[in-house]
Amino acid sequence: MADTITNDMSIMIGGDAGQGVESSGAGFCLALARAGLHVFALQDYRSQIRGGHNFYQIRLGERPRYSHSDPVHLLIALTPESVALHLDNLAEGGAVIFPDKFQIDEAPLKQRGLFVDALPLMAIAEEHGSRLMVNTAALGAAAGITEFPLEFMESVIRDNFARKGEQIVDSNLKVAQAAYTLARERYGSDFGYRLRPVDGAPKRMLINGNEAIAMGALAGGCRFISAYPMTPGTSVFEWLSALPHEYGVVIKHAEDEIAAICMAIGASFAGARSMTTTSGGGFCLMVEAMGLAGMTEVPLVIVEAQRGGPSTGLPTRTEQSDLLFAINAAQGEFPRIVTAPGTIEECFEAGWRAFNLAEKYQCPVIVMTDSFLASSLRTLELDAIDFAKVEIDRGATLTYEDLDQLTDGYRRFELTESGISPRAIPGHPKGVFAAASDEHDETGHITEESENRVRMMQKRMHKLAEAETEMRAPALYGPQDAEVTLVCWGSTFGACREAVDEINAAGGSASVLKFADLWPLPAEATERALRACRRTVAVEQNYTSQLAKLIRMTTGIDMDRTLNKYDGRPFAPEEIAAALGQEVVSGHKA
């Protein structure tokens, strides 16, 4: 091949569940990040622990990457099936690496101009270590074919296998070296895609959305988390659970999601900044208790990492189909706040900001992510997670010193102009109160008296109007006067942003309007932003265009077109760009 492309490619590792596809992919990503490259990595797996095809797709470059992208330039196939399944994803001039024991008909691959080579990966692994090290051999070969200096792979091997002992580390290093040398000998500099370390690149983190939310929650003062494991929300809980005890975060794996949210409500009632994490199915179970938090004005943070529904749906796959549910969940009317970070940086901020919103407005706050944002890895600059920017705002929470000053009898649900009542933490002699899920008066006593009911409804609902004043306007990315504006929320922002860059680079004119504060939707700001758009296309990972519906409900403004995807696979930028190029876009008018 005449031209070689350096530091701009996509790499895929495919194999069966249980073969270490994820750990190999994550290891490769870390090596690339340590070499100063920007990485975006998508995990695609099924809801089973052994067997079934999985893949890991890594996109890398010298500038930040916000999405995965097709085609793929290098495929590492750990099963014969991986070759067949991903053949169509491969770019011309791309390469496939697989162990030589696979029976693969190479002719059609070679016809497509692909570098195809069966490498004795298993033999290398067995000679220098054991059969278990075949993935290490594959990574070594991948480094060899791309001329990626092996030292970066080696540093990751050392770190990842350190706890298994020196012998395992040494064997893996030998396996990687042997495979690397073989690949260099076979290919020399023939392969058209190269990987080079970036001189002077700063140290960067390789992190996913769930980890960023958990870090934000920690810095934001979360000191209690109770949850029930449910993909893809679990890793927020696991990350906080793994913290050293000195941080003082009490964790509780509950018997079910109902107990999980109830424990968090109890802890918050007692005075701790508390959260629970789940996915849509678990959130369904939490709904009644969320209403309790609404009625009794208990601050609460719920992280809802959406996945493909309905019911068990697509357990390991992505979707944005719970938005209208989250906004409307539970009987009766009460204030709640719904935010949806669109990037990993925003996940960190959403993690700590949610606690401030919850305590300020004394209501549930739902942070919505999805499988794609929760589990995709991206390189982040160290200062993108800025602990110095974290602020703690406990709103009208009374300190014991405040309570000492009280002369009158304390009224937990005192009627105020903002609807927000001074909140005592139980335990002070002057702050004794009872709260009830029944309608109650200012002191908390149960009453069904009509005038009181009206006042209390108005008090609670007024908090929603107060909260709306600090909800953020949708953010515009791209030119002000674009021909087409993609309207999105959450994780689709990455693909929308790259699609827009691609369109604009090719002489088109497009922008993205990204919503992050979804409920209460800031009506005026939304209307202003949309009136400034020429043509709008709502891009959502759902069937019914839920953001588009929400916008219409709040502002009366219709999207011009909608672009929907509900196969559980995240939008790729190329898909969006291609759809915009068509006259008719598949989808459903909101």
Q: In the window 331-370, what residues touch another protein (CB under 8 A)?
A: none
269 binds another protein (CB under 8 A): yes
162 binds another protein (CB under 8 A): no
Binding positions for another protein, 557-576, rule CB under 8 A? none
Helices (H), ranges, 162-256: 166-187, 209-219, 234-241
Burial of 510 (0-12, 13-18, 19+ CB in 10 A): buried
Q: How far is the CB of 351 from another protein (least distance, A)?
A: 12
Among 74, 230, 265, 548, binds another protein (CB under 8 A): 265
Contact letters (x/-) for another protein, 171-210, by CB under 8 A? Answer: --------------------------------xxxxx---
Q: Helix, strand or coil for residue 90?
A: strand
In angstroms, rounded to a whole number, what is the distance separating the alpha carbons of residues 394 and 403? 15
395 binds another protein (CB under 8 A): no
318 binds another protein (CB under 8 A): no
Sheet of strand 90-99, all strands in order from the earlier edge strand to the far edge: 115-119, 90-99, 72-77, 9-16, 53-61, 38-44, 377-381, 204-208
Among 59, 273, 307, 497, binds another protein (CB under 8 A): 273
274 binds another protein (CB under 8 A): yes
Within 13 Å of residue 289, how many CA atoms lie on the same side as its CB? 23
Q: How far is the CB of 348 from another protein (least distance, A)?
A: 11
What are 364's two structure tokens? 């549930």
Q: Which of 255, 79, 427 is nearest to 96 (CA)?
A: 79
| Other CB atoms within 10 A of residue 46 CB | 15
- Which of residues 74 and 207 has its CB atom nearest to another protein in the complex? 207
Binding positions for another protein, 55-74, rule CB under 8 A? none
Residue 215 DSSP label: H
Q: How far is the CB of 44 from another protein (least distance, A)?
A: 22
- Which of residues 87 and 258 has its CB atom nearest to another protein in the complex? 258
What are 203's two structure tokens? 């140290």
Q: How far is the CB of 588 from another protein (least distance, A)?
A: 37
Sheet of strand 535-540, all strands in order from the earlier edge strand to the far edge: 475-477, 510-515, 484-489, 535-540, 561-564
- Which of residues 365 and 484 has its CB atom nearest to another protein in the complex? 365
- Which of residues 26 and 326 has its CB atom nearest to another protein in the complex? 26
Q: How far is the CB of 373 from another protein (least distance, A)?
A: 16
Among 80, 266, 313, 395, binds another protein (CB under 8 A): 266
Which residues are 381's β-sheet partners?
A: 204
271 binds another protein (CB under 8 A): yes
163 binds another protein (CB under 8 A): no
- 265 close to 274: Cβ distance less than 8 angstroms: yes
Number of residues that bind another protein (CB under 8 A): 76
Cα-based angle 317, 318, 321 (whole degrees, multiple of 5): 125
Q: How far is the CB of 445 from another protein (least distance, A)?
A: 6
What are 45's two structure tokens? 């797996």
Q: Helix, strand or coil for residue 185?
A: helix
Among 268, 277, 421, 546, binds another protein (CB under 8 A): 268
Q: How far is the CB of 104 from another protein (least distance, A)?
A: 37
410 binds another protein (CB under 8 A): no
Which residues are 515's β-sheet partners?
A: 489
Q: How far is the CB of 327 from another protein (least distance, A)?
A: 21
400 binds another protein (CB under 8 A): yes
300 binds another protein (CB under 8 A): no
- Which of residues 256 and 333 has its CB atom nearest to another protein in the complex? 256
Q: How far is the CB of 425 from another protein (least distance, A)?
A: 6
- Which of residues 416 and 437 has its CB atom nearest to another protein in the complex? 437
Q: How far is the CB of 239 from another protein (least distance, A)?
A: 9
Backbone φ and ψ for 505, nearest 5 degrees, come out as -65, -30
Which amino acid would we find at residue 255?
E
Among 428, 453, 455, 552, binds another protein (CB under 8 A): 428
1 binds another protein (CB under 8 A): no
Binding positions for another protein, 220-259, rule CB under 8 A? 221, 223-224, 226, 243, 245, 247-252, 254-256, 258-259
In angstroms, rounded to a whole number, what is the distance separating the alpha carbons of residues 16 and 49? 9
Binding positions for another protein, 433-492, rule CB under 8 A? 433-438, 444-446
- 136 close to 129: Cβ distance less than 8 angstroms: yes
Give Cα separations from 523 to 298, 390, 483, 537, 559 (angstroms).
Answer: 26, 27, 23, 19, 15
- Which of residues 317 and 440 has its CB atom nearest to another protein in the complex? 440
385 binds another protein (CB under 8 A): yes
Separation of first and last alpha carbons in the chain:
48
Q: Which of 489, 490, 518, 487 is nearest to 500 (CA)?
A: 487
23 binds another protein (CB under 8 A): no
* Radius of gyration over every alpha carbon of the chain, rounded to an integer in angstroms: 26
